[in-house]
Structure 1
Amino acid sequence: MRHDVPAVMTFSRGLLVGVLLGVMTIHAQSGWAPLWNGTNLDGWTTWIRQPEPSSEVPGLKRDAGGSYTEPIGSGRDPLKISPL
């Protein structure tokens, strides 16, 4: 009977992992909101990192070294990169 112990332990571990994953999934879904509404991109925003220093972007601040100090973000796209 000793050779059956690993099979029982393997089954028990698998069952425990399955239950834990199920509980975690249910808990995670309670605050979940879909990104795609199935129709259009309403509610989406665009965030683009700081432009390269070699790029000229009117209205963006630069530091003493010439690097841009802020990203192009939601409602702020001076180069009209994104249609969102």
Structure 2
Amino acid sequence: MSLRELSLPPNAPTARGLLAMNIIRLRRAKGWSQEDLAFAAGLHRTFVAHVERQVRNISIDNIERLAGALQVPVHVLLLSA
């Protein structure tokens, strides 16, 4: 049994899912495209697209870059709605 199975309800979003949902929500609230966010964070647009689609694992460093570009504390990117 994994740690996730022990600590979360079965339908709870993963950390990767929460991160993706929050990045999309905050990016859209700013009226930004993925390219706008990528430029502000110093990342490539395809990387942002992969993170939003949950197909790319992401480092803490890049989470910090995205949070900085979105002007929110890092923990906000992992909050549940």
Smaller-chain TM-score range? Answer: under 0.3
Larger Rg: 1
Of Structure 1 and Structure 2, the greater helix share is in 2
The TM-score, its normalising length taken from structure 2, stands at 0.23
| TM-score (structure 1 length as normaliser) | 0.22
Higher relative contact order (CA 8 A, sep 6+): 2
